[in-house]
C-alpha cells in the first residue's frame, strides 16, 4: 500500500500563508496526471474535497486554497489563512488500490 506522510500539526497566524505537505512512499503520478487529492475536515463534519489531482480546485472552494506537486511530494497552500480555515487537512492518493489517506495535519492558530 502507498503510505502518505503528513506533519501532525501546523501553527499559523491569521492572514499568513499556510503550507501543508504530504509525502508519498512511491510516486502517485501517471504521466502528467498527479493522483493526489486534498480534504478539509472541521470538527463534527464529514471531510470536504478541496483539491483534486494535485492542483484542481473543487467546486465552490475559495481561491485562497491551492495545490501543487508531483511524483511523491505534494503541497496544499492556504493564503491568506482565515479563521474559518482552522481544521484538519488530509491528503489521499488514488494512484493504486487501496486508496490511502495521510494521517492528517491539524491547522492551529499561533
Partner 1 sequence: QVQLKESGPGLVQPSQTLSLTCTVSGFSLMDYSVHWVRQPPGKGLEWMGRMKYDGDTYYNSALKSRLSISRDTSKSQVFLKMNSLQTEDTAIYYCTRADYGPFAYWGQGTLVTVSS
Chain residues binding partner 1 by CB under 8 A are 1, 35, 37, 39, 46-49, 52-53, 58, 90, 92, 94, 97-104
Which residue lies nearer to partner 1 by CB, 1 or 79?
1
Which residue lies nearer to partner 1 by CB, 13 or 96?
96
For the CB of residue 79, give the shortest distance to partner 1 in the complex, in Å: 22
Which residue lies nearer to partner 1 by CB, 78 or 105?
105
Nine-digit cell at 50? 478541496
The C-alpha cell 467546486 sits at 59
Quick count: other Cβ atoms within 10 Å of Cβ 53? 14
For the CB of residue 71, give the shortest distance to partner 1 in the complex, in Å: 17
For residue 93, the cross-strand partners are 36, 100
Cβ contact 51:67 at 8 Å = yes
Amino acid at each position: 500500500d502507498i503510505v502518505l506522510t503528513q506533519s501532525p500539526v501546523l501553527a499559523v497566524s491569521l492572514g499568513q500563508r499556510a503550507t501543508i505537505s504530504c509525502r508519498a512512499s512511491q510516486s502517485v503520478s501517471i504521466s502528467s496526471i498527479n493522483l493526489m487529492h486534498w480534504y478539509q475536515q472541521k470538527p463534527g463534519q464529514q471531510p470536504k474535497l478541496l483539491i483534486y489531482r494535485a492542483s484542481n480546485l473543487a467546486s465552490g472552494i475559495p481561491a485562497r486554497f491551492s495545490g501543487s506537486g508531483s511524483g511523491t511530494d505534494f503541497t496544499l497552500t492556504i493564503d491568506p489563512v482565515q479563521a474559518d480555515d482552522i481544521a484538519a487537512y488530509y491528503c489521499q492518493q488514488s494512484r493504486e488500490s487501496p486508496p490511502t489517506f495521510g494521517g492528517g495535519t491539524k491547522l492551529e492558530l499561533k
